[in-house]
A and B are shown apart, each in its own frame.
Chain A
C-alpha cells in the first residue's frame, strides 16, 4: 500500500506522461466537475454552495475523496455569493443574490448575463486607451460598488507637477471613500476565500490527491469580446460592420490575459512541482455552426492560438475545451497541434474523439468525453461501455485523459454513474500492471 506522498507523485506522473504523449501505466482519469456537483451530492442547495464557503469546501473534500482519480477538481471560490453582493456584480444572476433583480432560485446555478456592455461607437476610444476606458466605463458598469471609478482622472492629468498629490485628490472624493470601505470588506472576504482554497489544496495533497491549478482559467479573445464586451450579437455584427476594430480588440486582449495569469497564480500559491497546471480555456463561439470556417480563421483562431502559444512559452499547458461540436474545425486544430507536440490537452464535448485520435493523436493529448446525459441518466453499465469504447479507441501511445464531455461531471450527475466511469478506467485503462 502506497503512502499518500507516493500516491501523489504516481498520479502526477501518470498525468504528465499522458500529456507529453508517453504511455503511463494506466490511462489517467482527471475529472473537472461543474461547481455544484459536490454541493448537490451533499444535500446542499446551490445557494448554500455560494454562501457557505466552509461547508462547501468540506463537502468538496468529502465527495471528491470518494473517487480514485488522478487529478482532482479545484474548488469554486468559497463565499462567491457574498463577495458578489459586496461588489454589486452585474454580469451574472445567482441564487441568493441580495439584489432581487439578480437573484435566481435557491436551486439554480449562477448564470452569466450576456449583453453589449460596450457599443460599436465606443471602439475608437476603447482601442486608443483600453485600460483607462475599461476602468472608467466597463468595470463601474459591471460592479456597482466600483462606480466611483467613473471619475478616475485621465492619466495625462497626472503628468503635472506633484503627480502624487494629484493622484490623491481622486481619493478625497466622498463616493470614493465609501467605495474604499466596501473594497476593504471585499478584500477581507477574498483573502478568506483564497486561504480556503489553499487549505483545500493542501488537505487534498495530504491525502495523495493532486489538484488541478486554480488560477489558470483563460478565454479565447473573441469570446471575451462576445461574452463581456460587445455581447454575441454585437461581436457578430462587428464581423460585418467593424471587422478591423473587432480584430484589433481581440489582438489587444492577448497580452493582458497572459500577464493576468501570473498575478492570480501568485495569489493561489501554485504552481508547484506536485501540481499540474492545465489552463482551462472554455471556448464558446468557435464551435461548428457558430461561425463559418472562414470567419473562424479570420476572427477566432488567430488570437486564440497566439494566447495558447504564449502559455506554452510560460510552461503552462493550454487545455482548450471544445464545447459543442468541432468536426468542421479539425484541420485547424491538427495543424496547431503539430507545431506544439505534447504541450497541450484538447478537451472535447460532442466531437468524435476516436476520429480526433486518428487524426492528431501523435501530437496532442485528448480529453473527454463521457456525455452528460449518461452521467445524469445512466445506467452505470452504459457508462462503463462508453468509457471502455473511448479507452480502446484513444489509449494507444498515451495521450488520453478520461473525463466527462460537458465541463467534466455535470451538477446533477448521479454518484453511481460517476463511480461507474471511475471503475471503468481502473478496469480497462491499463497499459501494464
Chain B
C-alpha cells in the first residue's frame, strides 16, 4: 500500500527508489505494475473529484514513464492491453493543431480502462473514416479548439453518413469553444465540457 501511496502522492524520488528496491529484492515486475495501475486509477479518481488537476496528471505521467524505463519498456504493452472496457477513436480534427484537451481526455480514458487510439492533431476526415473501418471503435471522440473546427467536424460526420458508417459509432465532441449548441450544428451525439465528462459519456455508451 505504501508504494501505491507514494505514486498517488507524486513523490517522484521515493517511487523510483522503491522500484529499484523491489527489483533488487526480485519482486515480480508484473506485480509492481499492478500496483502502478492501481495508483493511476486512484489518480484518475482524484482528478474526477477535483482533488488533482492537470499538473498532477502530467507529473504522474512523468513518473509512470520513469517506472517503465526502470523496469522494462516492454511492460508498457502488457500494462496497456489488459481488460479493456471498449474502443475509442480520438483526434483533433483537421485545421487545428491544439492537443492539450485531447491529451487529457486520452489520459483519463486510458486510466479508466478504455482502449484509445489517438490519431493526433490536424487529422484529415478520410483518416477518421479509414480508422473507423479498421479499428472499429464504438465511440468517436473529436476535439477542436478553434472555431473553424465546427465545419471540420461537420464534414467528418457528413462523410461518415455518406459511407454508411454513422450508425456504427456514437460521436462525442469537446474543446475550447465547443458547447451543447455545437452538437446540433455538427451532427454529433454529445458534448463534454471536461475529460471527466468524456469518461462518463463513453462509459454510458459502452454499456448500451
Interface residues of A (CB under 8 A from B): 34, 93, 105, 107-109, 111, 113, 232-233, 236-237, 239-241, 289-292, 295, 323-325, 328, 350, 371-374, 376-377, 406, 410-413
List residues of chain A with CB within 8 A of the CB of B178. Answer: 373
Contact A295 B53 (CB under 8 A): yes
Contact B181 A373 (CB under 8 A): yes
B45 CB within 8 Å of chain A? no
In whole angstroms, what is the CA distance A109 to B62 when docked? 32
Distance (whole angstroms) from the CB of B188 to the closest CB of chain A: 12
B194 CB within 8 Å of chain A? yes
List residues of chain A with CB within 8 A of the CB of B182. Answer: 373, 377
List residues of chain B with CB within 8 A of the CB of A325. Answer: 193
In whole angstroms, what is the CA distance A292 to B55 when docked? 9
B29 CB within 8 Å of chain A? no
List residues of chain B with CB within 8 A of the CB of A105. Answer: 95
Interface residues of B (CB under 8 A from A): 10, 12, 50-56, 58-59, 62, 95-98, 100, 146-148, 150-151, 176-179, 181-182, 184-185, 193-194
Contact B181 A108 (CB under 8 A): no
Distance (whole angstroms) from the CB of B164 to the closest CB of chain A: 27
Contact A376 B185 (CB under 8 A): yes
Contact B54 A236 (CB under 8 A): yes
Contact B55 A373 (CB under 8 A): no
Distance (whole angstroms) from the CB of B67 to the closest CB of chain A: 16
Given contacts A111-B96, A377-B182, A377-B185, contact A406 B177 (CB under 8 A): yes
Distance (whole angstroms) from the CB of A91 to the closest CB of chain B: 13
List residues of chain A with CB within 8 A of the CB of B12. Answer: 240-241
Given contacts A291-B54, A373-B185, A376-B185, contact A410 B177 (CB under 8 A): yes
Given contacts A412-B147, A412-B148, contact A233 B95 (CB under 8 A): no
Contact of A239 among B55, B147, B177, B181 (CB under 8 A): B55
List residues of chain B with CB within 8 A of the CB of A108. Answer: 95, 148
Report the nearest B residue to A37, measured CB to CB. B147
- A373-B177, A406-B147, A412-B148 given; 20 more Cβ-contact pairs under 8 Å: A109-B146, A111-B98, A236-B54, A236-B58, A237-B55, A237-B58, A239-B59, A240-B59, A289-B54, A291-B53, A292-B56, A328-B50, A372-B177, A373-B150, A373-B182, A406-B176, A410-B177, A412-B150, A412-B151, A413-B147
List residues of chain B with CB within 8 A of the CB of A371. Answer: 177, 179, 181
Contact B58 A374 (CB under 8 A): no
List residues of chain A with CB within 8 A of the CB of B194. Answer: 289
Distance (whole angstroms) from the CB of A322 to the closest CB of chain B: 13
In whole angstroms, what is the CA distance A20 to B58 when docked? 41
Distance (whole angstroms) from the CB of A160 to the closest CB of chain B: 45
Contact of B147 among A93, A295, A411 (CB under 8 A): A411
In whole angstroms, what is the CA distance A289 to B58 when docked? 13
Report the nearest B residue to A324, measured CB to CB. B176
Contact B185 A236 (CB under 8 A): no
List residues of chain B with CB within 8 A of the CB of A241. Answer: 12
Listed by A's residue number, 17 A-B pairs whose Cβ atoms lie within 8 Å are A93-B97, A107-B95, A107-B148, A108-B95, A109-B148, A240-B10, A240-B12, A291-B54, A292-B51, A295-B55, A371-B177, A371-B179, A373-B178, A376-B185, A411-B147, A412-B147, A412-B148
Given contacts A111-B96, A373-B177, contact A411 B59 (CB under 8 A): no
Contact of A374 among B50, B98, B181, B193 (CB under 8 A): B181
Distance (whole angstroms) from the CB of A72 to the closest CB of chain B: 21
Contact A233 B58 (CB under 8 A): yes
List residues of chain B with CB within 8 A of the CB of A111. Answer: 96-98, 146
Contact A34 B147 (CB under 8 A): yes
Contact A376 B59 (CB under 8 A): no
Distance (whole angstroms) from the CB of A50 to the closest CB of chain B: 15
In whole angstroms, what is the CA distance A324 to B178 when docked? 11
Q: Which of B148, B150, B181 has the most CB of A within 10 A?
A: B148
Distance (whole angstroms) from the CB of A107 to the closest CB of chain B: 8
Distance (whole angstroms) from the CB of A327 to the closest CB of chain B: 11
Distance (whole angstroms) from the CB of A49 to the closest CB of chain B: 13
List residues of chain A with CB within 8 A of the CB of B55. Answer: 236-237, 239-240, 291-292, 295
List residues of chain A with CB within 8 A of the CB of B97. Answer: 93, 111, 113
List residues of chain B with CB within 8 A of the CB of A412. Answer: 147-148, 150-151
List residues of chain B with CB within 8 A of the CB of A410. Answer: 147, 177
Report the nearest A residue to B11, measured CB to CB. A240
Distance (whole angstroms) from the CB of A249 to the closest CB of chain B: 16
List residues of chain B with CB within 8 A of the CB of A292. Answer: 50-53, 55-56
Distance (whole angstroms) from the CB of A87 to the closest CB of chain B: 21
Report the nearest A residue to B61, measured CB to CB. A233
Q: Which of B52, B59, B146, B194 has the most CB of A within 10 A?
A: B146
Distance (whole angstroms) from the CB of A32 to the closest CB of chain B: 14
List residues of chain B with CB within 8 A of the CB of A406. Answer: 147, 176-177
Q: Which of B52, B95, B177 has the most CB of A within 10 A?
A: B177
